[in-house]
Amino acid sequence: MADVIKKATRESYGEALAELGDKYENLYVLDADLAAATKTGIFKKKFPDRFFDCGIAEANMMGVAAGMATTGKIPFASTFAMFASGRAFEIVRNSIGYPHLNVKIGATHAGISVGEDGATHQCNEDIALMRTIPGMTIINPADDVETKAAVEAAILHNGPVYMRFGRLAVPVFNDKSTYKFELGKGIQLRSGKDVTIIATGLMVAEAIEAGKALAEQGIEADVINIHTIKPIDSELIVKSAAKTGLVVTVEEHSIIGGLGSAVSEVLCEKQPTKVIRIGVNDVFGHSGPAVQLLKEFGLSAENIIGTVKAAVAAK
């Protein structure tokens, strides 16, 4: 694994905007004084006339994006996940969601892996909040390749999209030459009969690692990457749950309202199955290096392996 390239999905997001800026002349980028951190600065450098800093005023930025979208432009509004989904929630709901405007929200620094900045900036609630807005599409890509494909898919989709990116550099495991992104479709990464592991975002790499290790120990897992949390791929989830009879969800987000909840909602109505949710357990985070925090909060291959083994043994 020594030669695996690592890159933060926020970096991939900034690069994607800059790359796609040539192809999509209608693409504009707004930021709230965080261009250096959200990496929209990469776009700004290439297209200074199509980048607008809104200052530290996220509520207004979302409204400005909405207004621009009414005139046919495709604005990407970027800031940290905490401010995009939290502070600006009601503007996203009423000025973007209700009129179903073609605004793309690029939310970086999601989850506990923000690290040293601590609890105020570690947003573990954004998926839950955004899921409640009718018509909102939510994408949580897992690596560089997926992020770049997702950004283009968001441009091609007519309607509001919330995209979630991380600060921490993570392995690039998808192969650009063969990868295909389909909005609303999960990706089966491994097949097995004993358990279904459904992961999203930065946790997909951990789930892949766990799947391999479990196989060596005689447990065959279905490993599924759900990059689009809304609309969710019910068909794939139901099919896998029917086969394995046991589901473990893994997300760098609160266990309340995110992937675990979305999967549970699907299964309790269509294919009642035991679901174990791995995520942030209804607690605030704290400061520390990202990798250590992920381990501490159980967001690791190690914890997935332990959880799956215990659950399979109890089957």
Residue 90 is a binding residue for other proteins (CB under 8 A): yes
Q: What is the dihedral of CA 197, 200, 206, 212, to 10 degrees?
A: 40
Residue 67 is a binding residue for other proteins (CB under 8 A): yes
Residue 46 is a binding residue for other proteins (CB under 8 A): no
Residue 63 is a binding residue for other proteins (CB under 8 A): yes
Instruction: List the catalytic residue out of 58, 125, 146, 251.
Output: 58
Q: Is 19 helix (H, G, I), strand (E, B) or coil?
A: helix
Residue 47 is a binding residue for other proteins (CB under 8 A): no
Residue 201 is a binding residue for other proteins (CB under 8 A): no
Residue closer to other proteins, measured from CB, 74 or 237 = 74
Residue closer to other proteins, measured from CB, 26 or 188 = 26
Q: Which of 128, 124, 155, 151 is nearest to 139 (CA)?
A: 151
Residue 59 is a binding residue for other proteins (CB under 8 A): yes
Q: Which of 48, 72, 134, 218 binds other proteins (CB under 8 A)?
A: 72
Residue with tokens 């009414």: 70
Distance from C-alpha of 114 to C-alpha of 35, rounded to nearest angstrom: 16
Q: In whole angstroms, how close is the CB of 64 to other proteins at the nearest point?
A: 4
Residue closer to other proteins, measured from CB, 98 or 179 = 98
Q: How many positions of this chain bind other proteins (CB under 8 A)?
A: 29
Q: Which of 7, 37, 41, 52 binds other proteins (CB under 8 A)?
A: 52
Q: Which of 18, 29, 64, 112 binds other proteins (CB under 8 A)?
A: 64
Residue 179 is a binding residue for other proteins (CB under 8 A): no
Please list, residue by residue across 99-129, b when 16 or more beta carbons sit within 10 angstroms of its beta carbon and e when fewer do: eebbbbbbbbbbbbbbbeeeeebbbbbbbbb
Distance from C-alpha of 264 to C-alpha of 206, rounded to nearest angstrom: 21
Please list, residue by residue across 257-295, b when 16 or more beta carbons sit within 10 angstroms of its beta carbon and e when fewer do: bbbbbbbbebbeeebebebbbbbbeeeebeeeebeebbe
Q: Which of 41, 86, 99, 245 binds other proteins (CB under 8 A)?
A: 99
58 a catalytic residue: yes
Please list, residue by residue across 131-153, b when 16 or more beta carbons sit within 10 angstroms of its beta carbon and e when fewer do: bebeebbbbbbbbbbbbbbbbeb
Residue with tokens 């921490």: 168
Write the CA distances from 47 to 18, 21, 24, 51, 220, integer angstroms: 8, 8, 12, 7, 48
Q: In whole angstroms, how close is the CB of 9 to other proteins at the nearest point?
A: 27
Residue 142 is a binding residue for other proteins (CB under 8 A): no
Which of the stretches 90-98, 107-115, 141-149, 175-183 binds other proteins when contact is defined by CB under 8 A?
90-98
Q: Which of 8, 18, 62, 237 binds other proteins (CB under 8 A)?
A: 62
Residue closer to other proteins, measured from CB, 88 or 304 = 88
Q: Which positions are annotated as active-site residues?
A: 58
Name the residues that contact other proteins, by CB under 8 A.
28, 49-50, 52, 54-55, 57, 59-73, 75, 90-91, 94-95, 98-99
